[in-house]
Structure formats: structure tokens, C-alpha cells
Amino acid sequence: MSQLALDLSRPPGFLASDFLEADCNKEAAFWIGRWPAWPDFALALAGPAGSGKSHLAHIFATHRDIEIIPAAELTVSLVGELADDEGVVVEDADRGVDETALFHLYNLLKEHHRPLLLTGREPPNRWKVELPDLKSRLATLTVATIGAPDDQLLQALLVKLFSDRQVRIEPEIIAYLLPRMDRSFAAVHALVDKLDRAALQQGRAITLPLIRSVIV
């Protein structure tokens, strides 16, 4: 009989010490740590889902009075409230944003030379932007890109995600999963979630027999 699955996971750790640096994200981590020596006041951070963009955004904001705002919550009225902040991060700006609000925010931060960090799955020149003035400004941004993960990062990410759920995973489990999973950040997150839920529902540890029954 399956059991009720309780979510015992911890919130993701966004400390600098929790960030898993690898070849695919080294450029992005470098630029995040370079402010105020960016080429301009604004920077775009592009990478696939689950690749650590939010983690880097939180690292960037940690030691500054910088506001982190989901793009869907950015409004023209909110821009005025951000005038006293030391900078702003707008997350998922490629997935729908009030373009007028972002245009005003861009101009506000540029005037005061305060940092603007925009995150998205694609670089800004691929975003569907209708406002010409905003589109031209976004096209000039420096872009820090996160690429596809290698095996070493996938292994470390598996360990971290299971640890976030208070699950200690044996090395043989990692060795079994790596050659049998899709090589993407999103796939790692989905796989860990699927295995953890199956273990909770069945009241079992995450073992090779359980894994085989889930990923067949």
C-alpha cells in the first residue's frame, strides 16, 4: 500500500558555498562577481531551466541592497518604489514581462549607475520584445551564458539535490543513474523529484531495485 508522500525537502541553498562551479557556468560566475567592473550597468544571465541562474542571482544580491523580482511581478508603479535600492534583479525576464515597466526600470538604473541583472533561458536578442526602444537596449547587453552540464557537474548536482531533500545517496546509485538519464539540468531536477516521491509513497529507501522500477 502506498503512503502519503510528505515533502521533507529543505529550501534550496543559495549561499555562495553551495554553488557548484564547473566549466559550463564558470563564465557566468565570473561576471556575477565582477560588478562594478561590468562593461555597462546591466547584464543578462542566460541558461536552461535548473542551471543555477537563481542561485547566482541570490549570490549577487546577498551583500548589497538589491531587490530580486520575478518578471511577472514587475509593474510601472513598482519601478518608483525601487528608486532607493542599490540594484535590481529581474528573474525569468524572457517569459513575459511588462515591457514599459522594464524600460522605465532600465532607464532609472542606468541614470543612477546601479546594476540591473536580467535572467532568462535565452539571451535577450531572442526574447519576444515588442517595444522598439526596449528591444534596442536589450540587444546591447553583455550576456553571461550557462552551458550544458558535464558528467562531473551532473554527479555533484544529483548529490546536492538529494541532500536538499535530506536523502543521503550512495555512490553506486549515482554511478547507475548517470548513463541512464537525460543530460540536462531540468532532467536532473525531474529525476530526483520522481525518485524521492516514489520512495516516500512506497516507504522505501532509494535503492537500485526502486530506481529500476521507476525509470524503466
Taking the CA atoms of the chain, what radius of gyration do you get in angstroms? 20
- Where helices occur in 125-166 by DSSP H, the ranges are 132-138, 151-164
Does a structural domain hold residue 96? Answer: yes
For residue 67, give the H/E element and its range: strand 66-70
Looking at the fold, whether 49 and 139 belong to one and the same domain comes out as yes
**Amino acid in the structure at residue 120:** G
**Which of the listed residues 145, 162, 182 is the one where a domain comes to its end?**
145
The domain total for the chain is 2
126-175 per-position pLDDT tens digit: 999 999 999 999 999 999 999 999 999 999 999 989 988 888 888 999 99
Same domain, 66 and 92: yes
Domain boundary among 145, 173, 193: 145
Shared domain check, 158 and 123: no
CB 32 within 8 Å of CB 87:
no
CATH assignment of the domain containing 63: 3.40.50.300
pLDDT tens sequence across 16-42: 778 888 999 999 999 999 999 999 999
Residues 36 and 108 in one domain: yes
pLDDT tens digits for 63-122? 777 999 999 999 999 998 888 889 999 999 999 999 999 999 999 999 999 999 999 999
Residues 52 and 113 in one domain: yes
pTM of the model: 0.82
Listed residues 145, 173, 200: the one ending a domain:
145
172 lies in the same domain as 131? no
What is the pLDDT at residue 64? 78
Question: In the structure, what pLDDT confidence band is assigned to residue 216 with cuts at 50, 70 and 90?
Answer: low
Helix (H) or strand (E) holding 197: helix 185-202
pLDDT value of position 62: 86
Answer yes or no: do 79 and 155 share one domain: no
The mean of the pLDDT values for the chain is: 89
Range of the domain at 201: 151-215
Contact 97/71 with Cβ under 8 angstroms?
A: yes
pLDDT in tens, 60-79: 998 777 999 999 999 999 99
